[in-house]
């Protein structure tokens, strides 16, 4: 049979094949760098916002502990209070920036998937943030008050 070289202009067919672009390794690395920079930028912006609002976020997180009668938190090291605020802001920033990070990951991976594989992953992409939020809410409103 006749062999056809794959190029960016070569049509792939009925949409069941991988997207019609064949990129050299260096182009993949450039795109990966771009996606990572966008993700890190989203995380940095979210961290700035969360660090500005770290006191209300921290108050919300320790509310079950205060409701259980523990009105005073004790820090055992000099900089521990500051590092706790940094960690709270960072974890909140990851939660806030997750949609952007997941979107950048999907945009990087999706062109290498068959249409059938993309359709198979769609329910997982939609269910992940919903189930994460449901689990966090169940832990915060159900498990933590019972444990305290």
Render pLDDT for 31-70 as a digit per residue (tens, 0 to 9).
899 999 999 999 999 999 999 999 999 999 998 888 888 8
What is the spatial distance between Cα 53 and Cα 43, in angstroms, rounded to a whole number? Answer: 15
Highest mean pLDDT (candidates 8-12, 74-78, 134-138): 134-138
Residue among 21, 15, 22, 20 nearest 116 (CA) = 15
Asked if pLDDT for residue 10 goes beyond 80, the answer is no
Residue 111 above 90 pLDDT?
no
pLDDT of residue 86: 96
Q: For residue 17, is pLDDT > 60?
A: no
Average pLDDT (103-126) is 88
């Amino acid at each position: 049979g006749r062999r056809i070289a794959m190029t960016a202009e070569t049509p792939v067919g009925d949409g069941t094949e991988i997207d019609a672009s064949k990129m050299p390794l260096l182009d993949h690395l450039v795109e990966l760098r771009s996606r990572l920079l966008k993700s890190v930028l989203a995380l940095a912006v979210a961290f700035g916002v969360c660090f500005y609002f770290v006191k209300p976020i921290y108050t919300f997180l320790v509310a079950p502990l205060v409701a259980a009668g523990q009105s005073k938190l004790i820090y055992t090291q000099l900089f521990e209070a500051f590092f706790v605020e940094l960690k709270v802001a960072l974890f909140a920033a990851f939660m806030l920036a997750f949609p952007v990070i997941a979107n950048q990951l999907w945009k990087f991976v999706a062109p290498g998937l068959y249409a059938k594989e993309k359709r198979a992953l769609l329910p997982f992409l939609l269910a992940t943030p919903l189930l994460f939020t449901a689990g966090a809410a169940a832990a915060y409103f159900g498990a933590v008050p019972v444990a305290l």
